[in-house]
Amino acid sequence: MTVVVIGGGIVGLSSAYELATRGVDVVVCEQGSIGSGSTERSAGGIRAQFSTPVNVDLSLESMRVWNAFEERFGTDIDYRRPGYLFLARSEETAAGFDEAVAMQNDRGVPSERLTPDEASEHCPGIDPEQFVAATHSPTDGFADPHLALQGYARAAADAGVDVRTKTPVVDVIREGGSARDDEESRRVVGVETSEGRLEADYVVNAAGPWAGEVAAMADVSLPITPKRRQIAVAQPETPVPDSDPLTIDLESGSYFRPERDGDALVGGHFSAVDPACDPDLYTKSMDFEWSIDALETVSEWTTYFGPESAVKRGWAGLYAVTPDDTAIVEETVPGFVTAAGFSGHGFQHAPATGKLVAELVADGEASLVDVEALSSDRFEEESARVERNVV
Using alpha carbons, select from 258, 386, 355, 342 the residue that is nearest to residue 20. Answer: 355
Among 24, 18, 76, 89, smallest CA distance to 354 is for: 18
Phi (first) and psi of residue 13, to 5 degrees: -70, -35
pLDDT score at 318: 94
Give the DSSP per-residue string, 243-290: TPPEEEETTTTEEEEE-STT-EEEEE--SSSPPB--TTT---SPPHHH
* Residues 68, 71, 77: CA angle, nearest 5 degrees: 70
Q: According to DSSP H, which parts of 276-388 are helical?
A: 288-299, 346-362
Please, which pLDDT band fits residue 179 given cuts at 50, 70 and 90? very low
Distance from chain centroid for Cα 288: 25
Contact in structure between 5 and 12 (CB atoms under 8 Å): yes
For residue range 180-190, list pLDDT tens digits in order: 556 666 899 99
Say how far apart CA 43 and CA 145 lie, in whole Å.
Answer: 8
Q: What is the DSSP string of 20-50?
A: HTTT-EEEEE-SS-TTSSSGGGS--EE----
How high is the pLDDT of residue 247?
98
Q: What percent of the chain has pLDDT over 70?
A: 94
Quickly list DSSP for 102-156.
HHHHHTT---EEE-HHHHHHH-TTB-GGG-SEEEEETT-EE--HHHHHHHHHHHH
Q: How far apart are CA 262 and CA 258, in angstroms?
A: 7
- How many angstroms separate the CA atoms of 147 and 153, rounded? 10
Strand pairing report for 264-268 and 336-340: unpaired
Give Cβ neighbours of residue 119 (< 8 Å, ≥ 6 apart).
85, 87, 126, 128, 131, 134, 136
- Three-class SS of residue 79? coil
Provide the greatest CA pair distance for the chain: 65
For the cut 60, the answer to whether the pLDDT of residue 177 exceeds it is no
Given a contact cutoff of 8 angstroms between Cβ atoms, the answer to whether 197 and 167 are in contact is no
pLDDT digits (tens, 9 = 90+) for 232-282: 999 999 999 999 999 999 999 999 999 999 999 999 876 555 677 899 999
What percentage of the chain has pLDDT greater than the value 90?
90
* Burial class for 71, CB neighbours closer than 10 Å (0-12, 13-18, 19+): exposed
pLDDT at position 221 over 70: yes
Average pLDDT score over the chain: 94
Between CA 320 and CA 214, with CA 372 as vertex, the angle to 5 degrees is 35
Task: Assess contact for 320 and 211: CB atoms under 8 A.
Answer: yes
Q: Is the pTM higher than 0.85?
A: yes
Q: Which amino acid is at 331?
A: E
Integer CA distances (angstroms), 13 to 27, 34, 242, 267, in order: 10, 9, 30, 27
Domains and CATH numbers, the chain: 2-65+145-223+324-380 (3.50.50.60), 82-140+226-321 (3.30.9.10)
Q: What is the pLDDT of residue 386?
A: 73
Q: Would the pLDDT of 387 be above 90?
A: no
Encoded amino acid at 301, one letter: W
Task: Find, among 17, 41, 32, the residue nearest to 347 by Cα.
Answer: 41
* 222: helix, strand or coil: coil
Counting Cβ atoms within 10 Å, is residue 236 exposed (0-12), middle (13-18) or buried (19+)? Answer: buried
| 62-114 pLDDT, tens digit each | 999 999 999 999 999 999 999 999 999 999 999 999 999 999 999 999 999 99
Burial of 110 (0-12, 13-18, 19+ CB in 10 A): middle
Q: Which has the closest alpha carbon to 22: 166, 185, 160, 209?
A: 160
Distance CA 194, CA 186 (A): 24
pLDDT of residue 148: 97
